[in-house]
Amino acid sequence: MRKLLFALIAVVAASPFAHAAPGAVRCGKLLDVRSGRMLTDQLITFDSNGTITAVGPASSIALSGGTTPYDLSAATCLPGLIDVHTHLTGDPSSSGYQALGISIPREAIIGAKNARLTLRAGFTTVRNVGAEGYTDVALRDGINDGDVPGPRMLVSGPPLGITGGHCDNNLLPFEFHFKSDGVADGPWAARAKVRENIKYGVDLIKICASGGVLSKGDQPGTPQYTFEEMEAITEEAHKLGRRVAAHAHGTQSIKDAIQAGIDSIEHSSLIDDDGIAAAKKRGTYLVFDIYNDDFILQEGAKAGMLPESIEKEKKIGRLQRENFRKAWQAGAKIAFGTDSGVYPHGDNAKQFAKMVEWGMKPVDAIQAATVKAADLLGWADKVGAVETGHYADIIAVSGDPTSDVKVLESVKFVMKGGTIVRNEVSAR
Ligand SMILES: [Zn+2]
């Protein structure tokens, strides 16, 4: 009977139409991500809005009549993870020329598939930095309305970039007259594009400050947007209450973007000591996507990535990892972002082991994907910690992620806003 009841709960919970009810979760261990301390035998209660109402030792919290806590006493709980650099509406197989055959509506459907995979991997919040045709806006709204399962999303819409730059599309010759949605040259055109993206529902602005790896005919180290353009974009976005994320591999572009007041530097590959110092001084977050290098080199050619892209990755991958270590040791703020979509969605947690390999302690890497990521998003009071007033976004693993961060690659339990979306923890 008990087994049947759990099976029934699992079926109900798997439905995207399931609504949260007040409840509680009992965790054998709970990682306090703010202090890095591992707490034992904790009870977490939440209300019908899926908001946490109390957290503390199980013996200290009185449950209202009839509430049986969900039993995770054999597991270690953490807050739901956050990836601040995803592309849910794209897959690795839609790289290079293959991407040209994929319609905007099809991309939205791909996004629905990947949103579910990402959520089930324990990532209950993502910041999606770049999608054509506002597919990310539609996906975010569909998730919020309960139409499809997925993480909480902050979305950028089409990324802004210069004509012929990383955020344009250079695959077709002139006679097709094709350019990407976010292309805008000059401070005023860029300001107009910021306003247009906000008109159509974006939460933040993404720009391409320098060249990139997976684009045709440019170089990662070369500046694209000028300082003047980035300053205009940032002023316009901040005035309208939106933060700005800048794709920047190149040394000069990173410094220009920081100086222009941009909130996070994405990739950060060729950052130098001056750039690190500037990021520290301004409090700019650095995001280093140091897992996907392995995937690009091993699988990129099969996935349709251009030969020039593979060559660019060979040159930049190791430097990015070395600079990640340097920036971390120097005390820069780092948030967890992976560029999912370049590698398969749902593998996001594979980056934790890379961050540990390149200088972080497991708890540092976990903080980058929880409290620090939440701070970068402007959602520090909502996500990234299991605390009263936060969403009941809770995951559980077997084992101790502060000693073996790889356990985060096989998350056993996922709850988003008080609703269970994955459960492979056997009840005792
Ligand atoms: Zn990206």
Pull the structure tokens for residue 379: 């959602």
User: What CA–CA distance (Å, rounded) separates 155 from 359?
Assistant: 30
Summarize pLDDT for 123-177 with one digit per residue, the tens. Answer: 999 999 999 999 999 999 999 999 999 999 999 999 999 999 999 999 999 999 9
When pLDDT is cut at 50, 70 and 90, the band that residue 32 belongs to is very high
Q: How far is the CA of 208 from the centre of ligand 1 (A)?
A: 10
pLDDT at 335 over 50: yes
Q: Check residues 270 and 302 and name the one with the higher pLDDT.
A: 270
214 CA to centre of ligand 1 in angstroms = 10
Ligand 1 centroid–CA 84 distance in Å is 10
- CA 401/CA 363 separation, integer angstroms: 8
- Confidence band (pLDDT; 50, 70, 90) for 15? very low
- For residue 6, pLDDT over 80 is answered with no
Q: 284: CA distance to ligand 1 center in Å?
A: 18
Q: Which residue has the tokens 């709204």?
A: 141
Q: Do 5 and 353 meet the contact criterion of CB atoms below 8 Å apart?
A: no
Closest CA to 422 of 32, 80, 144, 85: 80
CA of 59 to the centre of ligand 1 (A): 46
Residue range 246-265: mean pLDDT, rounded:
98
Give the confidence band of 425 by pLDDT, cuts at 50, 70, 90: confident
Residue whose structure tokens are 């292309």: 183
Between the CA of 173 and the centroid of ligand 1 the distance, in Å, is: 24
Specify whether the CB–CB gap between 334 and 287 falls below 8 A: yes
Average pLDDT, the chain: 93
Mean pLDDT for 337-358 is: 97
Q: What is the whole-number distance in angstroms between the Cα of residue 114 and the centre of ligand 1?
A: 15
Q: According to the model, what pLDDT value does residue 10 have?
A: 43
301: number of Cβ within 10 Å: 15
pTM, two decimals, is: 0.94
Q: What local confidence, expressed as pLDDT, does residue 7 receive?
A: 42
What number of CA atoms fall less than 13 Å from residue 310's CA on the CB side?
15
pLDDT digits (tens, 9 = 90+) for 66-113: 889 999 999 999 999 999 999 999 999 888 898 899 999 999 999 999
State the distance from the centre of ligand 1 to the C-alpha of 129, rounded, in angstroms. 6
Span 325-351, average pLDDT: 98
- 13, pLDDT greater than 50: no
Could you tell me the distance, in angstroms and rounded to a whole number, from the CA of residue 87 to the centre of ligand 1? 7
Instruction: Choose among 182, 181, 166: nearest CA to 312.
Output: 166
The Cα 257–Cα 245 span in angstroms is 9
Residue 230 pLDDT greater than 70, yes or no: yes
Q: What pLDDT is recorded for position 158?
A: 98
Element (H, E) at 397: strand 394-397
Report the separation in Å between the CA atom of 86 and the middle of ligand 1, taken as the mean of its atom positions: 6
Q: What is the pLDDT of residue 427?
A: 55
**Cα 85 to middle of ligand 1, angstroms:** 6
The band of 64, judged by pLDDT with boundaries at 50, 70 and 90, is confident
- Contact call for residues 212 and 164 (beta carbons, < 8 A): no
For residue 207, pLDDT beyond 50: yes
Torsion of Cα atoms, 98 then 103 then 106 then 112, to 10° = 90
State the CB neighbour count (10 A cutoff) for residue 66: 6
Spacing, Cα 344 to ligand 1 middle (Å): 13
